[in-house]
Amino acid sequence: MPINTTHKIQSLALLGIVSTVAFERIAATDWRFLNSKAGILICLWSVLPYLLMACATELLKNPRTQSWWLAVSAVMVMLAIMAYYHTLLVQPDAQGALIFLFLPLVQCLIACVALILIRFLAGRDR
């Protein structure tokens, strides 16, 4: 059974979630950050774009629109992994943890704009 586009997008979303939580663990140096409400909220906030990414596949039923969303999803996940890696491991800084607040915001905005554009372009193709 071949893997369809929906499964690829959901796999990318899972990769994003796992890598983001792993980078949060690196930033916090252990898992105790999940013992506080703030740690849990930051963790949920940082994985929100990937949940949006996975849920958006329900809005896009056309194979062409799903392939566009797959491309957007792949770029978002790879850029996020590179940003986390660079911020936390290559050039660590005292303000580096702010990436867990602002990168998800940027990702959600990009995802919403991309979804609107994809839906608009799909409507024009009919």
pTM comes to 0.89
Q: How far apart are CA 38 and CA 67, in angstroms?
A: 36
Give, for all 126 residues of the chain, the pLDDT tens digit.
356 888 999 999 999 999 999 999 998 888 888 888 988 999 999 999 999 999 998 888 888 889 999 999 999 999 999 999 999 999 988 888 899 999 999 999 999 999 999 988 887 765
pLDDT at 40: 92
pLDDT at 125: 65
pLDDT at 96: 86
Q: What is the DSSP letter of 116?
A: H
> What's 20-56 look like in SS3?
HHHHHHHHHCCHHHHHCHHHHHHHHHHHHHHHHHHHH
Q: Which domain holds residue 97?
A: 5-125
Q: 6 by DSSP, 3-state: which? A: helix
Q: Which residues of 39-68 are buried (b: 16+ CB within 10 A; e: fewer)?
A: eeebbeebbbbbebbbebbeebeeeebbeb
Q: Report the number of distinct structural domains present in the chain.
A: 1
CB 122 within 8 A of CB 61: no
